[in-house]
């Protein structure tokens, strides 16, 4: 069966009459997105091979003429095994090498130069446990952290005392070695990091014994963390410049303190609001009362209205948590739970029966049956063991 010729123009996303510069720009853009060095997705790798084959065809006038006449110069085969034995036209070059070829990275091109041994340090993370009161009011904590710090012996140079770095003999201080490759673009000179100095352009003949040439050592130190009011579980507080010192004594990263809020014995938190439960005796709920309630901000009067039922919620405004990085304070929601006594003595039972009679709650047909059959009589018997 005859294969349908591939749409090489469509693979690159250019028009049929595109110029060589337009074709080159289109391929350069796709190569940046699809090259395996930056996109490990297998589908992207296959598409990279397809667009590479399309560029090879359309950049060759003879092969492009075959495409324009409706043919396929690669015979419809895959980029790696079609007619003409097409393999990777760039001979396994990396994305940086391909970009060098497009941007003039050939013979005589300017070198990128050695890279600095001094680099920025990484950020560090440490957890800290806080009570609800500490989250509400803010707190200053002295934390012990283990991070990389500047080597006090070499002060970041990595060299033993009295010595200094030496120029690399292999790359002569450039940090790169050049390699010549032949490709469809002709002879291309590519640069790679020097394997001896790892691209630094210099080596350390006598490393510092304290840091082994790193310019930094790991030590335990104490850091003062000022935790603002209103933080909560999972909130991270940034301490600038308190993280890891970088290689070669580079500037330190940041230290992040992650709050782990401990459970409270009375309050449950919901954002900036708090919830708690107050148990009220049956008589106090019926008659009404006032009691002192300890909140995070002091003692507040809690007014229980006569006839308060279980599941009633009383809201105390401004008695919750402060808002982090803002104004305002949340509320405290007090959930009332009316407590019914589990045991009463004979006198209490008599009073309850009298109250029930006064309120018309004693059912006449049951009360007429006497002591043994009455509803409240059975309650009394169950509590006093009669």
Q: Residue 267 in 3-state DSSP?
A: coil
* Residue 276 annotated as binding site: no
* Residue 135 annotated as binding site: no
Quick one: DSSP state of residue 174? S
Q: Which of 90, 20, 30 is nearest to 58 (CA)?
A: 20
Contacts for 240 with CB less than 8 Å, ≥ 6 apart? 254
How far is the C-alpha of 9 from the C-alpha of 328, rounded, in Å?
62
* Residue 197 annotated as binding site: yes
* Residue 154 annotated as binding site: yes
Give residue for tokens 């229980």: 304
List, as one string, the DSSP characters of 297-340: TEEEEEEE-TT--TT-EEEETT-SPBPTTSS-B--EEEEEEEEP
Q: Which stretch of DSSP H or E encloses residue 375?
A: helix 375-384
Contact 260, 130 (CB under 8 A): yes
How far is the C-alpha of 329 from the C-alpha of 322, rounded, in Å?
4
Q: Which of 175, 179, 30 is nearest to 97 (CA)?
A: 179
- Helices 42-58, 61-68: inter-axial angle, 10-degree rounding: 100
List, as one string, the DSSP characters of 69-128: TT--TTTT--TTTSTT----TTTT--HHHHHHHHTT-STTPPP--PPPS--PPPPEEEEE
Bridge partners of 186?
Answer: 183
How many residues does this entry show for the chain?
386
* Residue 159 annotated as binding site: no
Contact 227, 322 (CB under 8 A): no
How far is the C-alpha of 128 from the C-alpha of 276, rounded, in Å?
25
Q: Which residues are annotated as a binding site?
A: 151, 154, 168, 171, 194, 197, 208, 211
Q: Which residues are annotated as a binding site for Zn(2+)?
A: 151, 154, 168, 171, 194, 197, 208, 211
């Amino acid at each position: 069966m005859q294969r349908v010729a591939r749409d090489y123009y469509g693979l690159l996303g250019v028009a049929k009459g595109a110029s060589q510069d337009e074709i080159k720009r289109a391929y350069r853009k796709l190569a940046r997105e699809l090259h395996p060095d930056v996109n490990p997705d297998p589908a992207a790798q296959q598409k990279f091979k397809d667009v590479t084959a399309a560029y090879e065809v359309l950049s060759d006038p003879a092969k492009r003429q075959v495409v324009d006449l409706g043919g396929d110069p690669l015979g419809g085969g895959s980029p790696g095994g079609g007619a003409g034995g097409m393999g990777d036209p760039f001979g396994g070059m990396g994305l940086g090498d391909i970009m060098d070829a497009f941007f003039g990275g050939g013979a005589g091109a300017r070198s990128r130069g050695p890279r600095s041994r001094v680099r920025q340090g990484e950020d560090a993370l440490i957890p800290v446990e806080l009570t609800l009161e500490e989250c509400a009011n803010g707190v200053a904590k002295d934390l012990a952290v283990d991070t990389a710090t500047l080597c006090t012996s070499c002060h970041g140079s990595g060299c033993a005392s009295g010595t200094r770095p030496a120029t690399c003999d292999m790359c002569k201080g450039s940090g790169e070695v050049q390699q010549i490759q032949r490709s469809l673009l002709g002879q291309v000179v590519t640069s790679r990091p020097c394997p001896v100095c790892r691209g630094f352009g210099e080596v350390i003949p006598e490393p510092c014994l304290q840091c082994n040439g790193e310019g930094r050592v790991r030590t335990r130190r104490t850091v003062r963390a000022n935790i603002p009011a209103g933080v909560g579980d999972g909130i991270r507080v940034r301490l600038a410049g308190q993280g890891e010192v970088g290689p070669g004594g580079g500037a330190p990263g940041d230290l992040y303190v992650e709050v782990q809020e401990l459970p409270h014995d009375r309050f449950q938190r919901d954002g900036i609001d708090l919830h708690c439960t107050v148990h009220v005796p049956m008589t106090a709920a019926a008659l009404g009362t006032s009691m002192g309630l300890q909140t995070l901000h002091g003692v507040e009067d809690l007014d229980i209205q006569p006839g308060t039922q279980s599941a009633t919620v009383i809201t105390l405004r401004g008695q919750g948590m402060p808002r982090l990085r803002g104004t305002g304070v949340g509320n405290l929601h007090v959930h009332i739970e009316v407590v019914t006594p589990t045991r009463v003595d004979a006198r209490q039972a008599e009073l309850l029966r009298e109250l029930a009679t006064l309120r018309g709650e004693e059912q006449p047909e049951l009360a007429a049956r006497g002591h043994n059959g009455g509803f409240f009589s059975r309650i009394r018997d169950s509590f006093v063991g009669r």
